[in-house]
Every structure is written in structure tokens, then in C-alpha cells.
Amino acid sequence: MLQADDKGIRRAAEIIQQGGLVGIPTETVYGLAGNALNGSVSRKIFAAKGRPSDNPLIVHIAAEEEARPLVKEFPEPARKLAAAYWPGPLTMVLPKSELVPMETSGGLSTVAVRLPAHPVANRLIRACGCPLAAPSGNLSGRPSPTTARHMLHDMDGRIDAILDGGPCGVGVESTVLALAEQKPRLLRPGGVTLEMLQRVVGAVTVDPAVLHKLADGAQAASPGMKYKHYAPKAKVILVKGTAERYREFVNSKKAPGVGALCFDEDQHLLKVPSVPYGSGNDSAAQARELFDALRELDERQEIQLVYARCPEPEGVGMAVYNRLIRAAGFEVITL
Ligand code: AMP
Ligand code: MG
């Protein structure tokens, strides 16, 4: 574990320049970072995460101009969005240049690029002198890490170091927007909301896989969306309904092994073991706390079946809903 001070950042940069892998803080979640322009480093990232190699990596840069050599063109909507939301939790998918190895782009002709707002990430990228491929630093399928401790739990012995920059502010991964086609298309909701995108570029299509299960055999626009993700060991079922109905329902299911993933204000009224993930009217708090709550469920051996309170899928809540419905394997009960 490295402190996120000058010395720690210098050490992390040396490791990355030598082809190693370092866990890094960003404002969204912790990333597993290596030189994005070296295909063999990207292969090591896939191996460390146990990630299928057709699930592309996001390339992180430290200044907007650094996006240009990575892409064939940086069209007008990309320029406007960069001006509005970079640095920040927005990833743009654009046609890639020859500079980006096929390993990094998961075999696709496009590349996902982001300029993170976290000062440690920014200083590290500058110190490395190359863009960093940095997928979320979890083992494939597990909730993304929002603290250095989460990352150590998943990656101990698999990577060279972790820079500890404290807990992440946003708590869910970046918004992913495809700009390589006619109309901008939202592939993954995140901290930059649909409304924020629409304000800058007008109409944005929401890919059906954001809110619904992909039909069997359907092609995923964002390869990451076809894989099981975020699931704790316990079975999770998402429960839609009012606060009262949720409490009544969960209390009626009281039995050994049953637990709840609820809003803060539900907790004292529930008669089963529960883990809260923020207040019902605070989507930003839900986003910040969700992955830690999912990991805590894994530590609570007594809980094998989790009834999760459904968040309001508006604003940042769309990102929370998108992650939770995947954690639940799309199993939903409407009260
Ligand atoms: P992670 O790095 O774990 O935050 O996941 C990155 C997400 O971005 C995954 O869901 C990928 O499928 C998606 N992604 C990365 N590159 C591309 C791309 N070129 N086209 C579409 N989706 C991408
Ligand atoms: Mg991930």
C-alpha cells in the first residue's frame, strides 16, 4: 500500500513505466492501472481481474489534448461534452487510432476515453507520461472497489501496489457514452446524468441494456453489460414499492438467512438483519455507499437472501438502479 503523496505517486509511476500494475483512486471507483499503449500490460490487467478479454478497458488521460492521438476524430459533441464535464465521471467512446492496441480496446475499433477529476489520478498520469488503462479494480463480477481496502481484498498478490487516496466521492463507475455513431447513446449511466448529457448535446438514446435484461443472443453495445456483475454471494431480489409496503413485505419474510439492503430510514423498522445504502431521497449518497454495502453483505455470513429496496431511477439514481438490477440478476418483485 502506497501513500498518495509525492513519494507514493513517484513510486507508482515507476512501477507503471516498468510495465507493472497499480491500484489507483479516482473520483468514481478505484481503478487497476497500467500503460494503456502497451498491449501486453493490458493482457496483464485482464488476467489480474479475471476479466474476459473482449470487455474493453477505459483509457485515462490527464488533459483533453491527450485524447486526440488516441482517436481518429474528436467530433463537435465530444468537444462540447469535454468542455462541460471533463475532468469528471464521463467516458466517451470514439473510433480509435492505431496508437491504441487491440488488447486495450477488447478487439473493437473504438476506444473509451476519460479525463478523471481525482487529483491523485491526474498527478499519476502526468508522472507516468502515458495514458492509463484502468478498469475498476475489482475481481471480475464483484462490486467495484470504493476504498483501498476493498481493492486490497480483491487484488492482494495479483498486482504490484495500491495508492491509497481515501474513499471515492462518486462511488459508481463513470457514465459511458458512445459517440462513434449518428446519435449519442448512453451505454452505462453514472455521475454525469442523462439530463446533463442532453443539456449539452440534445437527444441521447438510452441503450436498452441500461435498464433491461439483454435478450438471449443479443449483441451488447457495451461488452461489459453482458456479464454478471456486482453480485454479492447472497441472492439479491430487487423490491419495488412504497416504504410501508417494503417494510411489511420484508418483515413478513423474516426467517433465518433473510436480510435487507435498505435505505437508512428503513433500517430501524425492519425485523431482519439489514445493511443500509443511503437515504431514499439522496441518490448521490446511494451511489457513494452501494458498493460498500454490497461488500458488507458478503461479510455477513448469516444473510443468504437479500431483499433490496429499489432506488428511484432518476438522475444519478439511474446509475444506482443499473448496478442494483445487475446485482439482482434482473430479479424484481413489484409490491
Ligand atoms: P470498467 O472499466 O470496469 O469501468 O468497465 C468499462 C466499461 O466500459 C465496460 O462496461 C465496457 O464494456 C465499456 N467500454 C469500454 N470501452 C468500450 C468501447 N470501445 N465500446 C463500448 N463500450 C466500452
Ligand atoms: Mg468494472
140 marked ligand binding residue: no
Q: Give yes or no for a contact between 236 and 259, defined as CB atoms under 8 angstroms apart.
A: no
Give the model's pLDDT for residue 266. 97
Q: Which of 222, 225, 226 to mutate to test the pocket of ligand 1 (most atoms within 8 A of CB)?
A: 222
**Residue 87: cis peptide before it, omega within 30 degrees of 0:** yes
Read off the pTM.
Answer: 0.97
Range(s) of the chain covered by CATH 3.90.870.10: 2-210
Q: Which atom of ligand 1 has the smallest separation from the CA of 134? A: 2
Q: What is the pLDDT of residues 24-33, one digit of tens each?
A: 999 999 999 9
Please write the tens of the pLDDT for every residue from 68-114.
Answer: 999 999 999 999 999 999 999 999 999 999 999 999 999 999 999 99
Average pLDDT of the chain?
96
Higher pLDDT, 217 or 312: 312
Yes or no: domain 2-210 corresponds to CATH 3.40.190.10: no
Residue 303: is its pLDDT beyond 90?
yes
Distance 278 CA to ligand 1 centre (A): 27
CATH 3.40.50.11030 residue ranges in the chain? 235-334
C-beta of 220 in contact with ligand 1 (< 6 A): no
Predicted pLDDT of residue 219: 77
- Closest alpha carbon to 161 in 299, 16, 327, 38: 16
Burial readout 104-114 (b: 16 or more C-beta within 10 A, e: otherwise): bbbebebbbbb
For the domain bounded by 235-334, which CATH number is listed?
3.40.50.11030
286 CB near ligand 1 (under 6 Å): no
Residue bearing the CA closest to ligand 1, atom 7:
224
